[in-house]
Amino acid sequence: MSDNTMAANAVPTAPAVTAATSASANNTTFAVILSLSFCHLLNDMMQSLVPALYPILKDSYELSFGQIGLITLAFQCTASMLQPVVGMYTDKHPQPYSLMVGMGFTLVGLLLMSQANTYPLILLAAALIGMGSSVFHPEASRVARMAAGGRYGLAQSLFQVGGNMGSAAGPLLAAFIVVPAGQQSIVWFSAAAFVAMAVLFQVGGWYSRRRAESKVAAKPAARSKAGAATASPLSRRRVGVAIAILVALLFSKNVYSASLGSYFTFYLISKFGVDVQTAQLFLFAFLVGIVMGTIAGGVVGDKVGRIPVMWFSIVGALPFALMLPYANLFWTGVLAVAVAMIMASAFSAILVYAQELLPGRVGLVAGMFFGFSFGLGGLGAAALGQLADMTSIDTVYKLTPFLLLLGLLTAFLPRHPGRPA
């Protein structure tokens, strides 16, 4: 071996050092994204325990469907009202350790829910759990984007799938733990909140160090992006109309999803006479469909565009939703999973489309659309509970599919958020 070769091996060249540093940074940021996805899993798993508790709470406290709907409203509207506010504030004043604090609200809510023995305490506990979500989602979306290294779609997909997996795991855990052991067993899940707080403390430290290192360089880039956003061909009015259409699409999707997420177990018990655990397994399958649809929607949306995914997601689910009330038990499960997969494919497309409409406003967009996702579902669940009390749960499942016709508003969206229609 020559001296030159030995020297080349002994002293890395500048590009080699740069590549090694870049690889190290990528490994670090990938770990941050996975940590956020894991905490999103724990967060949404703990939140999904609330609707999984409904059959127990209804029997124990003799609640009506309307009162069940109000629990959902209290749970989801705290997140809906606070998330945009949190997002707007953290866009201007990022709070690295707010993720851990938000998870603390969830912890207090779980402990209170496990011991609540009156309806007002149940409402308060549900509201606290929702409050934890309102702090978590906007800032976690910002950190995921910061750690993406330019691969924003991948980062958002990994982050979102963690939450969907948590939502799917909640009813399954409830079926085998909460239903047999009762309301007090909720306290066992507080351990998940402690684990999430520990992980988020580490993520907050990384976030704080990253901001300190890049603060000087980030300011000129932010000014440049802000100037580019101002020069957008879309007028402020056009952007406002597009946002309103996206909210309408979320309304149709989430109100129908609320009819399945909040009342599916009651529907199966009432119509087919299944036991609570079997109904929870059907709910688990529905939520797994949401996970699969979210992944597929992100992949397809990157290839064919956001608008076609929105069309397919909202309108494509309509035939299956219309057939569901007239199906037997087996086909009810199959149709529910199909509807879940098709409708869930739209959320990532809507979120990315909105981020392109409002560049540089990651916290606001995440807070607004995660918030609307919670809040519209909560309002829908409350209204559907009242409708079920006045008519029947079967009537609810026959009427709500027609909400999906609001998906026709997709025709009025610009083909690309950076260009006129």
Q: What is the pLDDT of residues 292-329, one digit of tens each?
A: 887 777 677 767 777 888 888 877 888 999 999 999 99
pLDDT (average), residues 350-367: 76
What pLDDT does 215 receive?
Answer: 65
Q: Which residues, 6+ apart, have CB-to-CB distance to 149 below 8 Å? A: 25, 26, 29
What pLDDT does 4 receive?
Answer: 42
From 131, 164, 138, 156, select the one nearest 42 (Cα to Cα): 164
Q: Evaluate whether 381 touches 69 at the Cβ level (below 8 Å).
A: yes
Four-point Cα dihedral 413, 380, 396, 393, nearest 10: 150
Site of tokens 């606290």: 128
Structure tokens at 335: 């149709």
Where does the pLDDT of residue 124 fall: very low under 50, low under 70, confident under 90, or very high at 90 and above? very high
As a whole number of angstroms, the distance between CA 140 and CA 6 comes to 47
Residue 68 pLDDT more than 80? yes
Residue 356 pLDDT more than 80? no
Residue 37 pLDDT more than 50? yes
As a whole number of angstroms, the distance between CA 367 and CA 419 comes to 25
Spell out a b/e string for 257-289, using b for 16 or more CB atoms within 10 Å of the CB, else e. bbbbbbbbbbbbbebeebebebbbbbbbbbbbb
End-to-end CA distance of the chain, in Å? 65
Alpha-carbon 387 to chain mean position: 26
How many CA atoms does the CB half-sphere of 46 hold within 13 Å?
A: 36
Highest mean pLDDT: which range of 25-34, 64-73, 187-196, 364-373? 187-196
From 262, 278, 290, 279, select the one nearest 397 (Cα to Cα): 262
The whole-model pTM stands at: 0.67
What pLDDT does 2 receive?
Answer: 44
What pLDDT does 275 receive?
Answer: 87
**Tens digit of pLDDT for each residue in 197-206?**
999 999 988 8
As a whole number of angstroms, the distance between CA 159 and CA 181 comes to 32
What pLDDT does 39 receive?
Answer: 93
Q: Which amino acid appears at position 343 of this protein? A: M
What pLDDT does 222 receive?
Answer: 46
Residue 221 pLDDT more than 70? no
What pLDDT does 8 receive?
Answer: 40
What pLDDT does 366 receive?
Answer: 74
What pLDDT does 19 receive?
Answer: 45
As a whole number of angstroms, the distance between CA 345 and CA 76 comes to 21
The DSSP secondary-structure symbol of 177 reads: I
Where does the pLDDT of residue 23 fall: very low under 50, low under 70, confident under 90, or very high at 90 and above? very low
What pLDDT does 3 receive?
Answer: 42
Q: Evaluate whether 178 touches 53 at the Cβ level (below 8 Å).
A: yes
pLDDT (average), residues 115-135: 89
**Tens digit of pLDDT for each residue in 387-396?**
888 888 888 8
**Radius of gyration for the chain, computed over Cα atoms and rounded to the nearest angstrom:** 23
Q: Which amino acid appears at position 352 of this protein? A: V
Q: Which amino acid appears at position 250 of this protein? A: L
What pLDDT does 42 receive?
Answer: 92
Residue 189 pLDDT more than 60? yes
What pLDDT does 5 receive?
Answer: 42
The DSSP secondary-structure symbol of 2 reads: -
What pLDDT does 12 receive?
Answer: 45
Pick from 2-6, 152-156, 315-319: least confident: 2-6
Q: Where do runs of H (alpha helix) occur along 116-235?
A: 119-146, 152-173, 179-181, 190-230
From 225, 237, 253, select the one nearest 350 (Cα to Cα): 253
Q: What is the sign, positive or negative, of the torsion defined by CA atoms of 371, 377, 381, 384?
A: positive
Total count of residues recorded for the chain? 421
Alpha-carbon 62 to chain mean position: 31
**Tens digit of pLDDT for each residue in 78-110?**
877 778 888 888 777 777 888 998 899 999 999
As a whole number of angstroms, the distance between CA 36 and CA 44 comes to 12
Residue 281 pLDDT more than 80? yes
User: What mean pLDDT, rounded, does the chain reach?
Assistant: 78
As a whole number of angstroms, the distance between CA 123 and CA 184 comes to 16
Residue 120 pLDDT more than 50? yes
What pLDDT does 200 receive?
Answer: 93
The percent of residues above 90 in pLDDT, for the chain, comes to: 13
Where does the pLDDT of residue 38 fall: very low under 50, low under 70, confident under 90, or very high at 90 and above? very high
Site of tokens 């989430």: 254
Residue 417 pLDDT more than 80? no
The DSSP secondary-structure symbol of 93 reads: S
Highest mean pLDDT: which range of 15-24, 80-89, 221-230, 297-306? 80-89
Q: Tell me how crowded residue 373 is: count the other CB atoms within 10 A of its CB.
A: 23
Burial class (CB in 10 A: 0-12, 13-18, 19+), 82: buried
Q: Evaluate whether 403 touches 254 at the Cβ level (below 8 Å).
A: no
